[in-house]
Amino acid sequence: MRKERILPWLVELSRVNAASLAEGRPGDLPNLIYELRQWLDLEPDEPLNAEVRALEKKPARLQALVDRVAELLGAVADRKRFHADYSSGSVILDAGKLGSEGGRALSYRDANLEDAVVRVALDDLYEDVDAALRIQRCAEPDCSRVFLAERKNQKYCSHRCANKTASRAYRRTHGRERAERERARYERRVRERTASNVKVARRPRARGGALTGD
C-alpha cells in the first residue's frame, strides 16, 4: 500500500461496521480483507495469513480489530495517551508528544493479528507524523467523528457539520431578533385578516324624492 494512502485508509477502517459490511455487497468484505493484508505487508508463508483469511467468516473478530484502530486514532485525534497490553509486552503512544522530542515510547512483540494491527498502525503514525497530526475529531457535538483534515485549521469533517455549527451559533446570537421578526409578521397577518372581514354598510337611498323636514 502506498504511503500517502495508508493514514486515510486507517481512518476509513476505524469507521467500518463489520456486520453491515458482511451483509452488504458481496465484494466489500473480501476487498477490505485484501487491503488489510496489503497494509500488513504479509508474506504468503506468514502465520498471520490464516487469521486474516478467517475474518471473512468471523465479522465479529474483524470488528474487534476495527475498534482497536478506532481507539488508537481517537487517542491521536484527542492528543491523549494510548496503552495496550498483550501477552508478550505492551505498546504505548503519547499522542500529545507526536512530532516532538521524546514522543516515541514503544515496546512490543507480535502475539496475534490484533497485536500486529496495532503495531503496524503505530509505525505508520510515526512514519508520517505530519499526516498523523492532521487526524482530528469533528468539532460538531452531534458528530464527533475522527477524520483526516485536509488543512491544519480544519475543525469539521464536512461542510454539513460546519454549516450546522454556524446555524446553531447564529440562532443563539440572533434569537431575539428572529423572535421579534416573527412576532411582527404574525401581527401583520392578523391585521390583514381582520381588515378583510370587515363589511361596510351602505346608506339607504331615499324613495320618491328628497326627504323633507316637518
114 Cβ contact list (under 8 Å, min separation 6): 64, 65, 68, 86
Does pTM top 0.85 for this prediction?
A: no
- Which residue shows C-alpha cell 326627504? 211
73 with 129, same domain: the answer is: yes
* 171 and 137 belong to one structural domain: no
Within this chain, do residues 126 and 49 fall inside the same structural domain, yes or no? yes
Strand partners, 136: 147
* DSSP helix/strand/coil, 11: helix
Range of the domain at 171: 158-188
Same-domain check for residues 142 and 163: no
CA angle 128, 95, 36 (to 5 degrees): 50
| pLDDT value, residue 207 | 56
pLDDT at 195: 63
Helix (H) or strand (E) holding 82: strand 81-86
- Cα torsion 203, 207, 209, 210: sign: negative
Question: Splitting the chain (214 residues) into consecutive groups of 10 residues, what average pLDDT does each group show?
Answer: 90 93 89 92 85 88 93 93 80 81 52 82 86 93 94 92 91 74 77 62 55 48
Total domains, the chain: 2
Structural contact between residues 99 and 129, judged by C-beta atoms closer than 8 angstroms: yes
